[in-house]
Structure 1
Amino acid sequence: MVNKNAGDIQSLTRMNQLYEKLLNEVDVGIHVINEKGKTIIYNKKMMEIEAMASEDVLDKNLLDVFMFRESQNSTLVKALKTGKTTKNIKQTYFNNKGKEITTINHSFPIKEEGRITGAIEIAKDVTQLERVMKENMLNKQNGKITFDTIIGRSQLMETVVDEAKRATRTSSSVLVVGETGTGKELFAQSIHNGSNRSRAPFISQNCAAIPDGLMESLLFGTKKGAFTGAVDRPGLFEQADGGTLLLDEINSLEPSLQAKLLRVIQDKSIRRVGDTKDKEVDVRIIATINEDPLDAVANNRLRKDLYYRLSVVTLFIPPLRERKEDILLLTQAFIDKYSTLFNMDVKGISEGVKTLLQQHNWPGNVRELEHTIEGTMNLIMGEDVITIQNLPGRFRSRYQAEEEPLVQGDEGDLSESNQTLHEKMTKVEKMYIQRVLKNNGHNITRAAKILGISRQSLQYRLKKFGL
């Protein structure tokens, strides 16, 4: 009798071990609660799905461990309370660290002699699938850049957007002037997508990213046999035929290539490297430059004749420090973007953060702001509002010490300690031009002579400063 009982116990132990192994090998999550709502079975796959350890869940009430949206209850608890089976129900909830989890659940009650004694849930993880779908949706929305994509309600931005919209009506060359990170390519793509060339290719090339020796073949293409290993390959102009070619940082292009580019724009034809025949192309050129184009011309970084050819339409994109009323709009847009990409639920920023963001001069412009928000989102641990403590250290440390009081002089407020030399010089230049213009009755010719610059150079600066 004893031997028989020992054999039964041994058999039962082996069976339990088999069941446990089976539970941990299946590729679905299994979660079982008893009639009090406490977890009694929690398999390995469920731990992976919910990023939880068994000791954090077993023998604990499910509702004390997991959080559910106000509009949604636990499908497992529902099966326990109602005694009803549900199949293929998508549920989104949060683990004890605030991580969002999405599963497709099959939940049903455990009944013994007509009484509900627990509930079982079989869950399939779709968290990653949900994230990929959100990313694809976001990419689809961002796939075609239009003027609606450009964020800004400041007068400066509204003015330049209006000028850019007018440029969509023709195929004239456009020169987009702006500091690094101001969003010059957004304007270029918006012009293309708003024009009658929108169905044709939009090709973009950063002129500073390719060695000079390769740039010519990249732009104009190659003919087989032109050099060792050369094959028949179309260049960017041929690829953009009928559409738009964006040449970013045009001032990085070597002078000899600038001369060839000028010929292509004038003749509307290209010649592949190593070829003897010209080929007609119909391409609209949009170029960008991150410095004053007249300075680039004066310092031989941009050919004067190419500048005149490219600047048929010239757009001046204002730096972020000159349109600070747009900072909070942009900040919220970036929070929404990275909340979706990172599967988070951040709503906004605190009043303290608003103050700091508007105090900063943003030398990296919109790009710096976006990177700051992205970095901040990586530091958040479950919060739904960004506070000063969440900001990246390198950014936050600038504002730990109390700022020095500003000193007013007869040139205006020029003593801000967090301004770069370039920013201060720009402010002085603007005020001095205003003074000379005022003293000369706003006569541009006379003012230019006093300033020691050409009339055209003064007109460029007036437009740049919005005077």
Structure 2
Amino acid sequence: MGEVVERADWFELILEAIDEAIHVVDSRGVTIFYNHNAAKFDCLQKEEVIGKYILDVYPSLTEKTSTLMHVLRTGKPIYHSLQTYLNKNGEKIETVNTTLPIIEDSKLIGAVEVAKDVSKLSALSNRLDQKKRANGVAETDQMHDFSSFLTNDPLLKEMLEKAKKTAAYPSSVVVYGETGTGKEVLVQAIVHESDRKDQVFIPQNCAAFPESLLESLLFGSVRGSYTGAIDRKGLFELADGGTLFLDELQAMPLTLQTKLLRVLEDGVVRRIGDAKSIKVDVRVITALNIDPFEAVKKQILREDLFYRLHVSSFHIPPLRARKQDIKLLSDHFIKIYHQQFSKHVTRLSDETIQLFMAHHWPGNVRELKHTIEHAVLMMPKEAEEITPAYLPAHLREQKITNEPPQSSLKSQVTSFEQTLIQEALSKHDGNIKQTAAALKIPRQTLQYKLKKYADAEM
């Protein structure tokens, strides 16, 4: 018996730890479990809900609009359904609910609901709409420009120049690269350079929401089109005249990709449940964290959509493929955090530079930024140099060996050549022409070798 109780306690702890609202009712609609996140959404104490009939606690809901009551009545599950109700303070709460019947011995004994709060998203949508109507444009946060993208890498500098040229035109753009490489910084720079820089800019991560919600978020909905649906503009309508940035496009379900393709080709959207088409003028910029050709090959990106979007595409290489940027970016982040935290730090120690150059940086620039932030936080106020003692443990414990590598003559020659090229590039501030002249090789040969090394690091 003790073991059963212990398991039940563990089960409750797990449900409390989950970052979603969990609500369980018995067959009568009386709450038998209600976790902390659910209470936070509703501005209620758990004691005010547990043991109470659900419609007594939520008077703004009815047997028809409550997803829990609907499942108790029908015995059928509901997936990713939007529900709108008023909490204790009279605030409108919108959640996306997955609600399942609880069956024991072929008998319905209750229902369990997992809910995700999307109220902030709705509030943002309404705020954008109000500002567009009041001012003609929607306010955006401070946008990055091309000066925000720091690099000494000659190929990346060349890519940024091409991106500047692209910015002046309304054509679609695809940006791809690993997580943390700076895709949104580049996207914002492109927008900042365009004639839409004073218009609305809306970023949306396609992996953040289930298909049903993402569809209504992008295209809008009309009241009654599905359970809990209300009249709402989608992001395409809200971004009219401006730019919509769709991040992690490869996470968008293929059925939605088909609808996206239609909007891009026709320039019109149709809200869910509406027969009326709405003309929109939106520049669409997309980003992927994998090579788009690989995404097409894996059938997670429609080929026709890719070629429709692929007017201009830009690849941001991982940090490990442009190690000459590590010192540049580290110095930049040190300046930011020494001011923010009122510390005297000004530089990396030689040993720290060695560790940074040996590290693989799977989180790329974002990982480097957080590493510098951690180090500056750990340092005494008067310390001027980031030493390994202030770094996260996984970097501190990294082994640096001076032993010769156990590899073939060819790979050692390649490694030596790459080192010579990187040193020459640093000496000439990334200038391809001067570096090629110093190495006494053609400019085209140097560019080919740099591209080959970058591809090998992927």
Q: TM-score, normalised by structure 1?
A: 0.57
- Name the residue aligned to 1:263: 262
Distance 1:395 1:462, change over 3 A: closer
Aligned to 2:237: 238
Q: Which whole-Å deviations, capped at 9, do the CAs of 1:94-123 have from their partners, x for residues lacking one?
A: xxxxxxxxxxxxxxxxxxxxxxxxxxxxxx
1:253 paired residue number: 252
Which SS does the other structure have where 2:244 is aligned?
strand
1:387 maps to 387
Name 1:429's counterpart in structure 2. Answer: none
Distance 1:362 1:463, change over 3 A: closer
Q: Name the SS of the counterpart of 1:339 in structure 2.
A: helix
Cα separation, 2, equivalents of 1:414 and 1:299: 36
The structural deviation recorded for 1:238 is 1.1
Distance 1:237 1:351, change over 3 A: same
Q: 1:462 to 1:360 in 2, by over 3 A?
A: closer
For 2:411 and 2:453, the matched residues in 1 are separated by 21
Task: Please show how residues 399-410 of structure 1 align to structure 2 within 5 Å.
Answer: 399=399, 402=401, 405-409=404-408
* 1:334 matches 2:361: no
Per-residue CA distance 1:58-114 (angstroms, 9 max, x = gap): xxxxxxxxxxxxxxxxxxxxxxxxxxxxxxxxxxxxxxxxxxxxxxxxxxxxxxxxx
Q: Deviations over 1:182-225 (max 9, x none)?
A: 10111111101100010111100111111122110010111122
Q: CA deviation at 1:463?
A: 12
Q: Distance in 2 between matches of 1:396 and 1:258?
A: 44
Displacement, 1:343? Answer: 2.6
What is the alpha-carbon distance in structure 1 between the residues aligned to residue 345 and residue 338 of structure 2? 6
In structure 2, distance between residues paired with 1:393 and 1:378? 15
Match of 2:142 in 1: 143
One-letter amino acid of the structure 2 residue matched with residue 398 of structure 1? Q
Indicate the residue corresponding to 2:353 in structure 1.
Answer: 354
1:348-400: per-residue Cα shift (whole Å, max 9, x none)?
1111112221222212111111111111122112212111211111211113x
* Aligned residue in 2 for 1:288: 287
Counterpart for residue 196 of structure 1: 195
- Secondary structure (helix, strand or coil) at the match of 1:226 reads coil
SS at 1:152 equivalent: coil
Contact 2:359–2:395 under 8 Å retained in 1: no
Moved more, 196-205 or 340-349: 340-349
**For residue 387 of structure 1, what is the amino acid of its counterpart?**
T
Which residue number corresponds to residue 319 of structure 1? 318
Q: Which piece of structure 1 moves more, 186-195 or 228-237?
A: 228-237
**Partner residue, 1:126:** none
3-state DSSP of counterpart to 2:317: coil
- Which one has a bigger Cα radius of gyration? 1
Deviation per CA, 1:130-186, whole angstroms, max 9, x where unpaired? Answer: xxxxxxxxxxxx822100111112102201111110111211110101111110111
- Structure 2 segments unaligned to the other structure (5+ residues): 1-140, 416-450
Secondary structure of 1:398's aligned partner: coil
1:209–1:414 Cα change, 3 Å: farther
CA shift, 1:284, in A, is 0.7
Residue type matched to 1:386 in 2? I
Deviation at residue 228 of structure 1 after TM alignment:
2.8
Q: Within 2, Cα distance between the matches of 1:269 and 1:254?
A: 20
Rounded to whole Å, the distance in 1 between the matches of 2:244 and 2:285 is: 6
Matched, 1:297 2:296: yes
Shift of 1:407: 2.7
Q: Kindly indicate whether the alpha-carbon contact (under 8 Å) linking 1:406 and 1:415 is maintained by their aligned counterparts in 2.
A: no
Q: Secondary structure at the match of 1:233?
A: coil
Distance 2:280 2:413 in 1: 51
Q: Aligned partners of 1:223, 1:196: CA distance in 2, in Å?
A: 32
Equivalent runs, 1:4-23 vs 2, <5 Å: none
**Residue of structure 1 equivalent to 2:398:** 398
Three-state SS of the structure 2 residue aligned to 1:287 is strand
- How high is the sequence identity, in percent, across the aligned residues? 44
Q: 1:462 to 1:241 in 2, by over 3 A?
A: farther
- Match of 1:228, SS? coil
Aligned AA for 1:396? Answer: R
Contact 2:322 2:454 in 1 (8 A): no
Superposition CA RMSD, Å: 2.3
What is the correspondence of 1:92-131 to structure 2 with a 5 Å cutoff?
none
- Give the match's secondary structure for 1:408: coil
Aligned to 2:26: none
CA gap 1:413/1:251 in 2 versus in 1, 3 angstroms: farther
Between the aligned partners of 2:407 and 2:375, the Cα distance in structure 1 is 35
Q: Which structure 1 segments of 5+ residues have no match?
A: 1-141, 417-460
Looking at structure 1, the residues matched to 385 and 454 of structure 2 have their Cα atoms a distance apart, in angstroms, of 37
Q: Evaluate the alpha carbon distance shift between residue 408 and residue 464 of structure 1 in structure 2; reply closer, same or farther with a 3 A threshold.
A: closer
1:314-356 CA deviation, whole Å, 9 max, x = no partner?
1011111111111111001111111222232211111111222
Normalising by the residue count of structure 2, what TM-score does the alignment of the two structures yield?
0.58
